[in-house]
Amino acid sequence: MAEKRVFCEHCLDDVTYHVEEREFTRKLKGKNYTFKGREALCDNCNRPVFVEEIDNANRTALYASFKKENDIISIAEIKAILKKYNIGAKPLSELLGWGINTVPRYLKGDIPKADYSAKLRRIAAEPDYFLSLLKDASDILKPIAYEKSMRAAEEAIKAGGVDKESLAADYLLSKNNEITPLALQKLLYYVQGFFYAFTGEFMFESDCESWVHGPVYRDIYNKYQEFGRNPIVSEKSYDFSSYFTSQEMQLLDSIIKHLSVYNGKVLEKFTHEESPWLLARGDLREDEPSTNIIEKEMIADFFTKVKEKYNMLTVDDLSAYTKARFASLSF
């Protein structure tokens, strides 16, 4: 593969570059915001060079920092609304009486006004409110789109249940602000596996898939993929004890204590040497894409054996396994 080159305005030549992580402070709407991003540096003079994809990622991180500090709805939350109510971005804009391209602009990174953000948040939290908006605007959407969204809203009202998978992700992110999308996927996988080992039950219903970089929960991937390789900026804040039992929170805390200390690439290495991921991929090459399901039975069997092998009596005993796994890695 050809090495990437960009123009360096200092060297006045096309150069190779390297990337370093750093903390930035930039002004947005008259106020400074600090965020973690990346900077491309010329291999010849070690001065900054412009790389579009890195600049875009930094802008996304800046906007995420702004949204968090000002309690503005995130792109991930807006995408979740569209999925939840089976509605497109433009139809949702029309339904709310906004310009047809308003929600599409938000999905591209534009920052919603505070009152628009509040309305979207209310829609996300209250399916019955969304349903009332639909019923009052039956002549705005096309009939097929209207019926699809109506059915989705009614299903959301009926379900009324708790999405433990998303809540577990929110809890982990609330306790560690260094978790990237890659790391979050692996942490959720370990939550699922070790919770079964100690209780005989799974914490959430979703299946994970055996992607190239390890186990992946697709809905969580879609929710946070905008952060790329950067730490996820969590915008959720609520009383988790209302949703989790004390046993569940003890396990989550142990995952944070003993596994979130490792970065995503290390956790990926862990999972690549464990049987559930390996068995689900079968004869596939390590770099070959796959959406094969890692069956829950595989996860149950593997983590039950891990618990027995390391004589785990409490969830805090996860440390024995994680230390052994890290010591066995070669870098």
75-84, 101-110, 155-164, 239-248: the lowest-pLDDT one: 155-164
Total structural domains within the chain: 3
The pLDDT of residue 180 is 96
Task: Judge whether 227 lies within some domain.
Answer: yes
Same structural domain for residues 256 and 308?
yes
Asked whether residue 232 falls in the same domain as residue 292, the answer is yes
208 and 263 belong to one structural domain: yes
Asked whether residue 181 falls in the same domain as residue 321, the answer is yes
| Model pLDDT, residue 65 | 83
pLDDT level of residue 163 (50, 70, 90 thresholds): confident
Instruction: Write down the H helix ranges in the chain.
Output: 52-69, 75-84, 89-95, 102-107, 114-125, 127-135, 143-159, 164-175, 181-199, 218-224, 246-258, 264-272, 275-281, 296-309, 318-328
Residues 307 and 190 grouped into a single domain? yes
Question: Does residue 51 sit within a domain?
Answer: yes
DSSP secondary structure string for all residues of 73-129: PPHHHHHHHHHHTT--HHHHHHHTTS-TTHHHHHHTTPPPPHHHHHHHHHHHH-HHH
In a domain, 123, yes or no: yes
Question: Are 217 and 268 in the same domain?
Answer: yes
Residues 226 and 307 in one domain: yes
Residues 139, 32 within the same domain: no
Q: Is residue 40 part of a domain?
A: yes
Residue 238 predicted with pLDDT over 80:
no
DSSP state of 230: S
Question: What's the pLDDT tens digit per position in 144-155?
Answer: 889 999 888 888
> What is the domain extent for residue 33?
6-69
142/88 same-domain check = yes
In degrees, to the nearest 5, what angle opens at C-alpha 267 toward C-alphas 262 and 273?
Answer: 140
Q: Mark which of 115, 130, 159 sits at the end of a domain.
A: 159
On whether residue 199 sits in a domain, the answer given is yes
Together in a domain, 318 and 261: yes
Q: Is residue 107 part of a domain?
A: yes
Do 109 and 75 form a contact (C-beta atoms < 8 A)?
yes
Q: Are residues 134 and 35 part of one domain?
A: no
The residue from 159, 185, 220 where one domain ends is 159
Instruction: Evaluate if residue 236 carries a pLDDT over 70.
Output: no
pTM of the model: 0.58
pLDDT digits (tens, 9 = 90+) for 94-142: 999 999 999 999 998 888 988 899 889 888 878 878 888 888 877 888 8
Question: Are 209 and 287 contained in the same domain?
Answer: yes
Domain boundary among 159, 191, 212: 159
Q: Could you tell me the CATH number of the domain that includes residue 50? A: 3.10.20
The answer as to whether 1 is a domain residue is no
